[in-house]
Structure 1
Amino acid sequence: MARVTLQTIADQVGVSRMTVSNAFSRPDQLSPTLRDKILAVASELGYVGPDPAARALARGTTGAVGVLLTESLRYAFNDEVATTFLGAIAEELTPTGLGLTLLTATAHDDVVPARDVAMDGAMVYSCDPTSSAIDWLIRRRLPLVFIDQVPAAGIPSVNVDDRPGARAAAEHLVGLGHQRVAIITGGVRRADGLEPAGAVVSGSAANEGGESQVIDGYVAQQRILGWLDALTPAGIDPPVVRLAHCTPEDGYDGARLLLESDLRPTAVLCFSDAIAQGVVQAAYDLGLRVPEDLSVIGFDDSPLAARMRPALTTVRQDVLAKGRAAAAALTRAIAETRAGTEVTADHLLIPTELVVRESTAPPA
């Protein structure tokens, strides 16, 4: 079967090749009657439209933006906070015609996504700041937006106001009378860039001494600072479990390390609701009651928090607002870059709020 081209359709309709092209890419240039006729002939001949790659080359755009993740792509589909965040981005991008491409920071068979994938711009979402993938995006001079990263000069950024939210959670426990408070945090890495092997326990949140090779991510740093803002004045030096990942399974393992110790905490502050779910399950498996024997506080206020039994006390962040703000900042940066104007490098902080439910109570 002969290949159908724009010229094939033009010959059939009796118009120029440019007129057929306009029917697909610039419909405002044609009358509705003529455009409908061209599209009808194209459909009859089995023509679906101009080649996307050729059209992108001609326009100098790809129609796609990337989201760089340090975690595996499976995390993006399994974690409720991540899926809500990505869904908000996709919804915000829909009117612009831009598509979403998920990028891992890891190379596969000599393919480096941050270096090799065609895109008009990218969002860097809660990634290791030393990752070579971020360096590739910067070197490509792509419009960028940082989300849950250390704000950088000249790059728009969106962050959650983590420190005040964490402070409010710790103040809630101190106000209830807890003195034996522990922390389980996530998103850590080793100084050599390798993944920590399992849970890492340190004697305090300072992360000094033997655990100095383990580095908290930016969000974890902010939340630890917030927790300590309330715990330190109360004379509480919390033991800390540091996890590479934020799954309920990791939270469960981390909680067992704390709850089976000689000096069991009466309350645990968790980096995320997913970790908190694992902590609650570990407590039940050890015969402890929540909140009577152990108070648990999460972070995020994901749908999981309200589903849990008991319902989880947590810190709410507006993930939808964060996703929409990130997408809006990137589309603006892309437009400014194309226009040759300076990129608006605003730093937006999404507020947090403590949501008190049933998983916290005074110590027994």
Structure 2
Amino acid sequence: MARVTLQTIADRVGVSRMTVSNAFSRPDQLSPTLRDKILAVADELGYVGPDPAARALARGTTGAVGVLLTESLRDAFNDEIATAFLGAIAEELTPTGLGLTLLTAVSSGDVIPARDVAMDGALVYSCDPESTAVDWLLRRKIPVVFVDQHPTDGVPAVNVDDRPGARAGAQHLVDLGHRRIGIVTSGVRGAHGRIADETSMIDGYVAQQRIAGWLDVLRPAGIEPAIVRLPHGLPESGYDGARMLLSQDAADRPTAILCFSDALAQGVVQAAQDLGLRVPEDLSVVGFDDSPLAARMRPPLTTVRQDVLAKGHAAAAALTRSIDSMRNNTPPPTEHLLLPAELVVRSSTAPSPA
């Protein structure tokens, strides 16, 4: 079947191609009667609208923005915080007509998504700053907003106040009398799960901020935590990390564990229970994020809350402002927004049994 074009409709109605184009893009240029006739013929012929590629070329815009993720796209859909963040972005973009394109930092053959996918701008979400994908986006000179990244001069950024939030979680445990405290964390680069004391091993801005906040409280209290760094933030990783920490003599194993995320905390709680330990009587656990998972867990999880919906809305709004500035040849915004984090105490923490 031959493709229906604007010229096809123009020939059927007996008007010019420009008149048909105006019926779709500039309806005020036509009488209501003529426009209705053109639209009726278009519908009859099965016309689906102007070619998106041609329209984008004419307007100098793609109508889409990208979200760059370091890990696989599948992992994003297994993470309630990531899905809530993406949902908030989509909601903020809806009135603008912009679509959302998910990009992985992993190349496939000759295709490099950050370099090759057409987009009007991009959000860089919790990515390795040394990733070549981030470099490609910056080299393209399209509007970019960093989210959960190290703030960079000249680039708008949206972050959570992770360090004070982590301090609050650690102080809560110290106030409960805990002195043997473990940390289960993750970074953006691959790593093998292991116990370590070297905090320099921790990669990623968010992971660095959270561990700095924990140590701000623990070290002045004379506590040197055992740190397990894991390659992924999945519950299975938390389970493995907890087994490393808890498979010690009762006199040496932690009475409390601080976790990089609620997902890791879920695995920690499961591991403790499988080892015959009670949460919180034998082991207190603190998460981070206050995802829906935290309230569903048994016992409900003490955690540090970040407003992930506000983060998504703020990030999308910052990007649309940057895109508008580029279109209007005005100075781009470069604000760095810092959202609060607060401790939410539930039933997974209790006074130290030691």
TM-score range, shorter chain: over 0.9
Match of 2:239 among 229, 234, 252: 252
Match of 1:201 among 181, 195, 202: 195
Q: Distance in 2 between matches of 1:254 and 1:306?
A: 22
Are residues 31 and 326 of structure 1, via their aligned partners in 2, closer, same or farther at CA, if it must alter by over 3 Å? Answer: farther
- Amino acid aligned to 2:133: A
Q: Distance in 2 between matches of 1:226 and 1:33?
A: 67
State the secondary structure of the residue aligned to 1:265.
coil
Equivalences for residues 58-77 of structure 1 within 5 A: 58-77=58-77
Identity of paired residues, percent? 77
Q: Distance in 2 between matches of 1:215 and 1:277?
A: 21
Give the drift of 1:2.
3.4
State the secondary structure of the residue aligned to 1:174.
helix
Give the drift of 1:150.
0.4
Are residues 27 and 259 of structure 1, via their aligned partners in 2, closer, same or farther at CA, if it must alter by over 3 Å? Answer: farther
- Amino acid aligned to 1:337: M
1:50 maps to 50
Equivalences for residues 92-111 of structure 1 within 5 A: 92-111=92-111
CA contact (8 A) 1:188 1:242 kept: no
2:120 maps to 120
- Amino acid aligned to 1:202: A
1:181 maps to 181
Give the drift of 1:188.
4.2
Q: Distance in 1 between matches of 2:291 and 2:29?
A: 48
Q: Distance in 1 between matches of 2:176 and 2:29?
A: 69
Q: Structure 1, residues 260-293: CA drift from partner, whole Å, max 9, x if none?
A: 0231100000000000000000000000000000
Q: Structure 1, residues 232-251: CA drift from partner, whole Å, max 9, x if none?
A: 11111101001121000000
- Amino acid aligned to 1:229: D
1:210 maps to none
Q: Distance in 2 between matches of 1:171 and 1:11?
A: 76
Q: Structure 1, residues 185-214: CA drift from partner, whole Å, max 9, x if none?
A: 11242xxxxx22x3132035x34xxxxxx4
State the secondary structure of the residue aligned to 2:101.
strand
- Amino acid aligned to 1:275: L
Give the drift of 1:353.
0.9
Give the drift of 1:257.
0.3
2:285 maps to 296
State the secondary structure of the residue aligned to 2:317.
helix
Equivalences for residues 1-364 of structure 1 within 5 A: 1-189=1-189, 195-196=190-191, 198-203=192-197, 206-207=199-200, 214-262=201-249, 263-364=252-353
- The runs of at least 4 consecutive aligned structure 1 residues that moved more than 6 Å come to none
Q: TM-score, normalised by structure 1?
A: 0.94
CA contact (8 A) 1:122 1:143 kept: yes
Q: CA RMSD in A?
A: 1.2
Q: Distance in 1 between matches of 2:262 and 2:88?
A: 20
